[in-house]
Structure 1
Amino acid sequence: MSRHRSRTAAVRRVGAVVLAANVALAVAKAAVWHLTGSLAVGSEAVNSIADVAYSAVVLAGLYLTTRPPDFEHPHGHERIEPFVSLFVAAAVLLAGLGVAYSGVSSLLSPAPARAFGGGPLAVGVLVASGAAKLLLYRYCLRIGRVHASPAVVATALDNRNDTLTALAALVGVLGASAGYPALDAVAATAVSIGILYTGYEIVRDNVGYLVGAAPPEDLREEILDRALSHPEVRGAHDVIAHYVGPEVDVSLHIEVEGERSLFEAHDIETEVVEAIRAIPAVDDVFVHVDPKELGEWKDGDGDGDGEP
């Protein structure tokens, strides 16, 4: 299976798994809420219903971003992924603000309402929810990193948040059962800070994809090393790498002996392109071949020469 097809299958599978898990959790929490009347479980049920709605949108977005290239999008649709990630970030930030408002309002209330504990059933569904969300976080994070998918990484971080909110709800249930309903508000307020920071992380990481930021320096060095490792390349300069969506486009000049024929220069260029394109994060590579004798490379370029 090609790298593109493997990525497509993995990313779409993540979206389907997350949606199915959110549906199951929403049904379970709603049932326990109906049976116990626990306000903490009720708020978690509402949260899971919201997760079902947003994960359906994310699944549709992941299907869209993994469609093959067509006439209108010759480089594929992966560049839409940062927008899907920003949608997840918006959902995360709204959830964080909602949790913060609820927690702070309860703390400032002169007589906070007493929540129903819900007993072992409520505790069980919240523990199961937290465990399921933790597994989803680790699963999505692994797939997102392996396949360089910012939308899947953002989904992983959102599942990490849901683990924290389930923990906060569990504190509320136990606190209500022990006669300290204010613990619910304290836990919710603390958790909201982490949720809001996660939303900021997702926005920060994806804005770079949208504005064509440069990739990490070690990736640029690897690109240069692969170009200079070709036995016929004597130098390289004007190396430009930048994000186009979640993938990197590269352009550079390589220097070869001026007496090489056009056929030989073409073969060298093709081999350098293929070597650089083999880097998982790289999409397109554009190589310009210069005669070494022109002396376009200079020490100040910082690219080094490939002189053996």
Structure 2
Amino acid sequence: MKQQTNQQIAMRVSWITMIINIVLSIFKFLAGIFAKSGAMLSDAVHSASDVFSTIIVMIGVKISGKASDKGHPYGHERMECVAAILLAIFLAATGIGIGYTGITKIISGNPNELSIPGMLALIAAIVSIIVKEGMYWYTRHAAKKINSSALMADAWHHRSDALSSVGSFVGILGARLGFPILDPLASIVICCFIVKAAFSIFMDAISKMTDQSCDEKTEEEMRVTIMEQPGVMGIDQIKTRLFGDRVYVDIEIRADGEQTLNQAHQIAQMVHDQIEHRFPTVKHCMVHVNPASSSQLTNNMTEDEKF
């Protein structure tokens, strides 16, 4: 039920941002034409590319939310990582394209390559910065809420568009003030930010597809939770692995070997239930009970007698 709710949140955010991107792209395209601004036309194309990236996110989230089946008994969560990787590649290509355009303009040495744009282009750039930055924070908040790597990648794509609009603003303003070189220089700086964000998204998605363990803080919190359960005498092993944006946990605990099978099962069940309750990202927790040795029982009794 929770997974379906997360999927609904992601789809709603994606639909909202896609509609805003379509309207914003049309506005910037018309502003670029009427204000005779090549920078704004390029920015409009960049905004239109966000529509494509959002579609990738929607497909990835939709597939990852499918229930387990015979061919995929562990679910489809990693498809969201695939979507994040595709977005990272698309984001990097966009950044490199912006940087390449800036470099070629500088190499050409033609200060007249950027024509003097009208005031409408400057207004469009300001509107784009405000709207795209707002979309970044809105999408980022939703991504953190449901722990979605694909949605987070889409958020950074919005941020890249905001940075692109900053470059457009600087270029347009510089051109109006007689310094057209500012446009290509800003493009190169923006390229570096975008490529860095793409690399971070790519590495995060890759780590979630290669069974990387949880961070040490989370594992330590799990250890504390396990040891709080009555009947648990120790932890022999705890292993975690990321599966897309969910976590699988394998635990081996020690308990009194003289207990009945039902008693040992109840202890394991308590550990299982508490781990899945306190850590919402845990999809499944497997608990194995090992019998404590006589020396461990003696040591445990000695410790209890101290209190």
Normalised by the length of structure 1, the TM-score is 0.91
2:102–2:187 contact (8 Å) kept in structure 1: yes
| Letter of the structure 2 residue corresponding to residue 230 of structure 1 | Q
How big is the alpha-carbon RMSD for the aligned residues of Structure 1 and Structure 2?
1.8
State the secondary structure of the residue aligned to 1:67.
coil
Alignment of 1:64-79 (within 5 A): 64-79=63-78
Alignment of 1:284-299 (within 5 A): 284-293=284-293
Identical positions, percent: 28
Q: Which residue of 1 aligns with 2:28?
A: 29
Q: Which residue of 2 aligns with 1:218?
A: 217
Q: Which residue of 1 aligns with 2:171?
A: 172
Once residues 10 and 50 of structure 2 are traced to their aligned partners in structure 1, the CA distance between those partners, rounded to angstroms, is: 18
Q: Which residue of 2 aligns with 1:256?
A: 255
2:40–2:121 contact (8 Å) kept in structure 1: yes
Unaligned stretches of 5+ residues in structure 2: 298-302
Once residues 73 and 275 of structure 1 are traced to their aligned partners in structure 2, the CA distance between those partners, rounded to angstroms, is: 26
1:204 aligns with 2:199: no
2:56–2:87 contact (8 Å) kept in structure 1: no
Once residues 55 and 32 of structure 1 are traced to their aligned partners in structure 2, the CA distance between those partners, rounded to angstroms, is: 24
Q: Which residue of 2 aligns with 1:109?
A: 108
State the secondary structure of the residue aligned to 1:169.
helix
State the secondary structure of the residue aligned to 2:293.
helix
1:117–1:174 contact (8 Å) kept in structure 2: no
Unaligned stretches of 5+ residues in structure 1: 298-306
Q: CA 1:26 to 1:294, structure 2 compared with 1: closer, same or farther past 3 Å?
A: farther
Q: Which residue of 1 aligns with 2:280?
A: 280
**Number of equivalences:** 298
Once the two structures are TM-superposed, the CA of residue 281 in structure 1 deviates from its matched residue by 2.3
Once residues 49 and 39 of structure 2 are traced to their aligned partners in structure 1, the CA distance between those partners, rounded to angstroms, is: 16
Q: Which residue of 2 aligns with 1:86?
A: 85
| Letter of the structure 2 residue corresponding to residue 193 of structure 1 | C
Alignment of 1:149-188 (within 5 A): 149-188=148-187
Once residues 181 and 221 of structure 2 are traced to their aligned partners in structure 1, the CA distance between those partners, rounded to angstroms, is: 54
| Letter of the structure 2 residue corresponding to residue 285 of structure 1 | C
Once residues 240 and 296 of structure 1 are traced to their aligned partners in structure 2, the CA distance between those partners, rounded to angstroms, is: 23
Q: Which residue of 1 aligns with 2:300?
A: none
Per-residue displacement from partner, 1:220-278 (whole Å, max 9, x unpaired)?
11111111110111111121111122211110111111121111111111111011112
Q: Which residue of 1 aligns with 2:60?
A: 61
| Letter of the structure 2 residue corresponding to residue 19 of structure 1 | M
Runs of 4+ in 1 over 6 A off after TM superposition: 294-297
